[in-house]
Amino acid sequence: MIDEFPKTYEPKVAESKWYDIWQNNNIYKADNKSDKPSYSILMPPPNVTGILHFGHVLNHTLQDLYIRRKRMQGFEVCWFPGTDHAGIATQARVEKELQSKNISRHDLGREKFLEHVWDWKEKYGEIIIKQLKTLGISCDWSRTIFTLDDHASNAVKEVFIQLFDEGLIYKGKRIINWSPLSQTALSDEEVEFREVNEHLYTMRYRFVDNPREYLSVATVRPETIFGDVAVAVNPNDERFKHLIGLKVIVPLVNREISIIADDYADPAFGTGCVKITPAHDTNDFEVGLLHNLQMINSINPNGTLNEITGEYNGVDRFEARKSIISKLKEFDLIEKIEDYSHNVGFSQRGGEPVEPYLSDQWFVKMQPLAQKALKVVIDGEVKFHPNHWIKTYEHWMTNIRDWCISRQLWWGHRIPVYYTTEGKFVAAHDESEARTKMGLTMDHPLVQDSDVLDTWFSSWLWPLTTMRWMEDGTKDSTSDMKKFMATDLLVTAPDIIFFWVARMIIANEKFIDQVPFKNVYFTSTIRDGIGRKLSKSLGNSPDPLEIIKKYGADAVRFTMLYLSPLGQDVKMDVDVTAQDIPSMEIGRNFANKIWNAGRFLLMKKSELTTIDDNSLDILSTADKWILSRFNTTIDEIDKALNDFKVNDYSKILYDFIWRDFCDWYVEIFKIQFYDSDNDAYKSRLVNFALKIYDDILKLIHPIMPFISEEIYHLTNKVSDVVSISQLDYPIADKSMIDSDIESSISLFQKLIEEIRKLRSELNINHSVKIPLIIATQNESLLVLLNELKKVISNFARASNLDIITNYTKGENTIASVVRDIEIYLILEGNVDTAKEKERLLKEIERFERNIKGSEAKLSNSNFVDKAPPSVIAYEKEKLESMKETLIKNKTNLESLN
RNA sequence: GGGCGAGUAGCUCAGCUGGUAUAGAGCACCUGCCUUACAAGCAGGGGGUCGGGAGUUCAAACCUCUCCUCGCCUACCA
């Protein structure tokens, strides 16, 4: 037995063993023809370049918790996994690799380059999946999809064409966020704003008519003066009203531009005059459109100034800024330079400052699509947890902007738009369809758009493509969709609420007129002990695989949930030098506790010769108590998980198993067990405890799958084909919940704790047993105490225990009172009277204070009139009891004199 | 500027549809235990004017107002 059940739990062995067995037995495969009610979750696709971080750990643990639990509760469960192709990240990775061999993607050409990317994907794309498996998650891997799979690509193409034909996709020249490093457009979400300390330069724009006078114009980007086409002042600004329509000269550039009137100019900011550079600033672009201004681009795609800037042609934008400033100074065109801090956008990928850039891009018109997607969230068809995210969602949806979906990359879904040499274009599945649509002959030459779509343009179809929509070339519902749409839960980080969550709702509503999921759980952001996000560059992000190796997957899973309150960030104490997370001990120690409780019960079982006896007819109060606590616990777990309070769930489990089951019940069990020499009774008792223990394993299985499976097989000796994850989850039996018994045992616990405290204060060693007398006049308490006599005697380390109705305190006796119960410890030596007096006086003082408070309360007519009767009754009872206790304590004090 | 959230023990947090004898837990700390499941453990202990102030109420950590501090998201102020 001991050989089979080692002293400590070794996660490594169990983890590799069971995951393979589960996979080989295909037990997590979902059946879309099943009659069972369905429960499904879409896994947020990790990207193929991804490696496992703690965000994944938390996110997937949560999903697995719900999936495993629902599976055990009899649902046909499906967890849809997959990865996305991560356009920029993947392409950048491969380009970097090629660069080390001095090859650029242009050297290879599009086709060859893409071959390289696919090779890379084949080689490394599965890494994240393998890593996820170490967590023990139970998704249906047979359904794994990739966003560039044929059917997913079909869906993307189909959707693009439909939206194009409906006029919801259009091509436009707009200011977009441009990444000079990757040389592609970025979405708003791929731009991170950071406060930067720069300078505000006030330049002199001299009047054409009167060059001795000038207009002061402030800017932080003097290098954009080559794109200046106007200076705007506020039409109501008295200082400048008379100047509107006059012309000024752009410094250095010497171009004549007009002074125009526009509300955009804020009289209170800077000089009140703002230069308008429509090709290099979003607001200026709007002003430019309104006033029909020229759009002059002065920057190249790689972030250098272009040919129109003359001597600065080819000079980097920031270098150019420096030389332009010194040149301006030279000509006395700078009035002043002030320190200035403001927000600048940086590319999330490359980290370089983003350039607002005027270029031709494809956009989705979002406003017509947003209405319904907002409604389903407001109406609660899609619920957010925590629900305060609704406000953020609402704000975004009501101020939604068009979505720039084109990317100047090669890796991704190529835009299905075909152009004629004459500049006509149309969206189509292929060239021949394009020709038909445009009414051209079949030999008319066409060119396909060279750009690809934003990766999110495939991710927003994730609910559809995971369920294999468009696999057969039609938009009909698939078998998966019939069974599993809408899915039940989506677990994701709040920072992609717009990128992804909102757009999935939009797409589902648009294309199949159904919500994609009913609940969205927004996970916590994981931070280190001093509140910083975990990041590789800070070195505060240990490799989860190492942490799992050290503490075990179950321990990591449990600890993550234990530390994750709904709607708040998780703080973990990261040890940067050791790359360790010491809090993981919480889960590891808990796993070990569970392990050892099982080990103990099995040891006891193996000591018995009697054949199994499962009758449950002679339950003690303690047995009934643990049953009551067990059923209460199931009930509380149900509530917590229904409300998505996962850390409540883990704390409820932790407290029940450690405190109630191990600390109290197993200890009582020992006494009941050792006290009997009736093997039949012992057998019944062990089986009773093991039954609860097995149910406990089922309760923890969703969060600790490996250890629960491992122990279940040790306690039940079933074959590997059987998995605890396919057994029935315990259901709360309310008839077993007995609040009287729970409060009785709780009083018993108070009694034991008081005796232990007295012994500890008296420095009585654990091995020393002394006589104990317990007195109470409460009849029902006498019955309870007598039933628990052996237990009390043992827990209290009593050499002899008398339970009586009255006791007169003698010599060398320490006395205390717990509610209606008097405790007397008979010492061998003399009592330290001074110390004892002090203790009793403190106790007397406390009760006098409380009695005074209680009496004041009860004599307050407002309280008696207005408080609910139950509160008053309780208060009266309490007062009586406290008075009695006070008297007993006073008597005890007197006896010391 | 707008929105959201947080402030309770040295640290991390529960408790917040107002009422239960001393406001809880884990970690850390102190004391005593190798008590035959577990030292990754057992038993006990110290430590809190519940961010400040005002109000509502018989009763406030919890409700209202206000102020302070700190996070996060969001916004085009050159």
Please check whether residue A85 is in contact with residue A148, taking contact to mean a CB–CB distance below 8 angstroms: yes
Cβ-proximal residues to A508 (8 Å cutoff; 6+ apart), any chain: A463, A464, A486, A514, A515, A516
Which nucleotide in the DNA or RNA is closest to residue A866, CA to C1'? B58
Task: Check the CA dihedral A595-A598-A600-A602 and report its sign.
Answer: negative
For A731-747, what is each residue's pLDDT tens digit?
A: 999 999 998 899 899 99
- In angstroms, the CA of A601 and the C1' of B37 are apart by 8
Q: Cβ(A426)–Cβ(A418) under 8 Å? A: yes
Tokens standing for residue A48: 């193929």
Residue A307 gets which letter from DSSP? G
Token match 């001093």: residue?
A530
The answer to whether strand B lies under 7 Å from the CB of residue A881 is yes
Q: Which residues pair with A80 in a beta bridge?
A: A42
pLDDT band at A158 (very low <50, low <70, confident <90, very high): very high
The whole-angstrom separation of Cα A408 and Cα A92 is 12
Write out the two tokens for A734. 């309310």
Query: What angle is formed at CA A440 by the lines to CA A436 and CA A441, rounded to 5 degrees?
Result: 100
Please give the residue that has the higher pLDDT: either A287 or A610: A287
Cα angle A381, A386, A388 (rounded to 5 degrees) comes to 85
Question: For A223-243, what is the mean pLDDT?
Answer: 89
pLDDT higher than 60, residue A341: yes
What is the average per-residue pLDDT within A160-167? 96
DSSP 8-state secondary structure symbol assigned to residue A575: B
A194 touches strand B (CB under 7 A): no
Q: State the average pLDDT over residues A139-157.
A: 95
pLDDT of residue A189: 75
Q: What is residue A616's predicted lDDT score, i.e. its pLDDT?
A: 58
**Rounded CA–C1' distance between A616 and B67, in angstroms:** 63
Is a pLDDT exceeding 80 seen at residue A567?
no
In this complex, the answer to whether residue A216 has its CB under 7 A from any atom of chain B, a nucleic strand, is: no
The residue that leads in pLDDT, A405 or A198, is A405
Three-state SS across A618-682?
Answer: CCCHHHHHHHHHHHHHHHHHHHHHHCCCHHHHHHHHHHHHHHHHHHHHHHHHHHHHHHCCCHHHH
Instruction: Write the CB contacts of A644 (distance below 8 Å, at least 6 apart in sequence).
Output: A385, A519, A521, A566
Does residue A864 approach strand B to less than 7 Å at its CB?
no
Listed in order, strand segments (DSSP E) in A829-872 are none
Tell if A8 CB is < 7 Å from nucleic strand B. yes
Does the C-beta of A606 come within 7 A of strand B?
no
Residue A572 confidence (pLDDT)? 80
Position A566 pLDDT exceeds 90? no
Q: Give yes or no for CB of A793 within 7 Å of strand B.
A: no
Give the mean pLDDT of A600-617: 77
Residue A775 CA to residue A891 CA, distance in Å, equals 14
- Of all nucleotides, the one whose C1′ comes closest to residue A758's CA is B44
Question: Is there a contact between A801 and A671 (Cβ–Cβ < 8 Å)?
Answer: no
Q: From the CA of A208, how many Å to the C1' of B6? A: 58
- The pLDDT, as a whole number, for residue A487 is 95
For residue A1, the model assigns a pLDDT of 40
Q: Dihedrals φ, ψ of A675, to 5°?
A: -75, -20
Q: What's the ipTM?
A: 0.93
Residues pairing with A420 in the sheet = A446
Interatomic separation, CA of residue A521 and C1' of nucleotide B69, rounded (Å): 30
Cα(A718)–Cα(A721) distance, integer angstroms: 8
pLDDT for residue A396: 86
Tokens (6 digits) for A607:
């000591």
A299 in Cβ contact with A306 (< 8 Å)? yes
Bridge partners, A383 (sequence order) = A519
The amino acid at residue A517 is F
**Which among A153-167, A495-509, A802-816 has the top mean pLDDT?**
A153-167
What mean pLDDT is predicted for residues A799-813?
89
The Cα–Cα gap between A479 and A463 comes to 13
Q: pLDDT band at A612, cuts 50/70/90?
A: low
Does A585 contact strand B, using a CB cutoff of 7 Å?
yes
Please give residues of chain A from 101 to 160 whose alpha-adjacent beta carbon (CB) lies under 7 Å from any atom of strand B: none
| pLDDT tens readout for residues A439-496 | 999 999 999 999 999 999 999 999 999 999 999 999 999 999 999 999 999 999 888 8
The nucleotides of chain B lying under 7 Å from a protein CB are: 3-6, 11-15, 19-22, 26-27, 31-35, 37-45, 57-59, 71, 73-78
Amino acid A40: pLDDT: 96
> Is the Cβ–Cβ distance between A385 and A522 less than 8 Å?
yes
CA proximity to A731, closest of A630, A598, A617: A630
Bond before A155 cis per omega within 30 degrees: no
Distance in angstroms (rounded) separating the CA atoms of residues A58 and A243: 62
Tokens describing residue A471 = 């696999």
Between vectors from CA A715 to CA A714 and to CA A716, what angle results, nearest 5°?
A: 95
Checking if the pLDDT of A545 tops 80, the result is yes
Residue A606: CB atoms within 10 A of its CB come to 13
pLDDT on residue A81: 96
How confident is the model at residue A2, as a pLDDT? 41
pLDDT score of A792 = 95
Determine the Cα–Cα distance for residues A643 and A649; give it in Å rounded to an integer: 10
Q: Is the minimum distance from the CB of A888 to strand B below 7 Å?
A: no
Q: Residue range A777-793: average pLDDT?
A: 93
Is the bond leading into A278 cis (omega within 30 degrees of zero)?
no
Structure tokens at A135: 């967590």
Residue A245 zone, left/alpha/beta (φ > 0; ψ -120 to 50; rest): left
Cβ proximity of A230 and A216 under 8 Å: no
Radius of gyration of chain A (CA): 37
Q: Do the Cβ atoms of A86 and A49 come closer than 8 Å?
A: yes
Chain A residues 632-651 with Cβ under 7 Å of strand B are 647-648, 651
The residue whose two tokens read 């409540």 is A648
Name the DSSP class of A304: B
Mean pLDDT of A77-96: 91
Q: How far is the CA of A596 from the C1' of B17 (A)?
A: 41
Instruction: Tell me the pLDDT tens digit for each residue of A645-699.
Output: 888 889 999 999 999 999 999 999 999 999 888 888 898 999 999 999 999 999 9
Task: Using CB atoms within 10 Å of the CB of residue A732, give its burial: 0 to 12 exposed, 13 to 18 middle, 19+ buried.
Answer: middle
Q: How far is A511 from A457, CA to CA, in rounded Å?
A: 14
Nearest to A700 by CA among A691, A709, A690, A689: A709
Across A783-806, b (16+ Cβ under 10 Å) vs e yields ebbeebeebbbbbbbbeebebeee
The mean predicted confidence, pLDDT, of chain A is: 90
DSSP A498: I
Cα dihedral A501, A505, A508, A511, rounded to 10, equals: -110
